[in-house]
Amino acid sequence: MNRIIYQTTDGVAVIAPSDKVTIEFCIKDVPTGAKYKIVDTSDVPSDRAFRDAWEVTPDATWSTK
Amino acid sequence: MANHDYVIANQNGANTRADLNNAFSAIVSNNSSASEPATKYAYMFWADTTADLLKQRNAANSAWIDILTLSTGAPATSGATEGTAIVSTGETGGTKYLREDGDGTSSWQSVVSDPAVGGDLSGTASNAQIVANAVGNAEMADDAIGVAELSATGTASSSTYLRGDNAWASVPAAGADTSLSNLSATGENKVCQAWVNFNGTGSVAIRDSYNVSSITDNGVGLYTMNFTNAMSNNDYALTGTTMVTNDSSWYNQPTVGYRQTTEPLATTSAKVNITEGNGGGYRDPTHVMLQVFGD
Residue B260 contacts by C-beta under 8 Å, 6 or more apart in sequence? Answer: B271, B273
* B 159-218 near A (Cβ less than 8 A): 196, 198, 201-206, 209, 212-218
Under an 8 A CB cutoff, do A48 and B201 touch? Answer: yes
Q: Find the residue in A nearest to B201 (Cα).
A: A48
Q: Is A65 helix (H, G, I), strand (E, B) or coil?
A: coil
List the beta bridge partners of residue B258.
none
Residue B223 sits at the chain A interface (C-beta within 8 Å)? no
Q: Is B67 helix (H, G, I), strand (E, B) or coil?
A: strand
Show pLDDT as tens, one digit a residue, over chain B (295 residues): 688 899 998 999 999 999 999 999 999 999 999 999 999 999 999 999 998 899 999 999 999 988 888 888 877 765 444 555 566 666 666 777 777 777 767 777 877 765 555 555 555 556 666 777 777 777 777 777 777 777 888 888 888 888 888 899 888 776 665 565 566 666 667 789 999 999 999 999 999 999 999 999 999 999 999 999 999 999 999 999 988 877 666 556 778 887 777 788 999 999 999 988 777 788 899 999 999 999 8
Does the reported pTM lie above 0.95? no
Under an 8 A CB cutoff, do B217 and A41 touch? Answer: no
Query: In this predicted structure, what is the pLDDT of residue B196?
Result: 97
Residue B226 sits at the chain A interface (C-beta within 8 Å)? yes
pLDDT digits (tens, 9 = 90+) for B113-129: 655 555 555 555 566 66
Query: In this predicted structure, what is the pLDDT of residue B102?
Result: 77
Q: What does each C-alpha distance from B122 to B117, B125, B129 come to in angstroms?
A: 11, 9, 14
| Chain B environment of A20 (Cβ under 8 Å) | 209, 213, 228
pLDDT digits (tens, 9 = 90+) for A27-59: 999 999 999 999 999 999 999 989 999 999 999
Residue B171 contacts by C-beta under 8 Å, 6 or more apart in sequence? Answer: B159, B160, B161
User: DSSP string covering B181-231, please?
Assistant: TTS-HHHHTTS-SEEEEEE-SSS-EEEEEESEEEEEEEETTEEEEEESS--
Tell me A35's DSSP state.
Answer: E
In total, the C-beta contacts within 8 angstroms joining chain A to chain B are: 75
Q: Find the residue in A nearest to B266 (Cα).
A: A29
Min CA distance, A60 vs chain B (Å)?
23
Residue A38 sits at the chain B interface (C-beta within 8 Å)? no
What pLDDT band is residue A7 in, cutting at 50, 70 and 90? very high
Query: In this predicted structure, what is the pLDDT of residue B72?
Result: 83
Residue A29 sits at the chain B interface (C-beta within 8 Å)? yes
Mean per-residue pLDDT, A13-35: 95
Residue B261 contacts by C-beta under 8 Å, 6 or more apart in sequence? Answer: none
Mean per-residue pLDDT, A17-33: 95
- Give chain B's count of helices (H) and strands (E): 2, 15
Query: In this predicted structure, what is the pLDDT of residue A19?
Result: 94
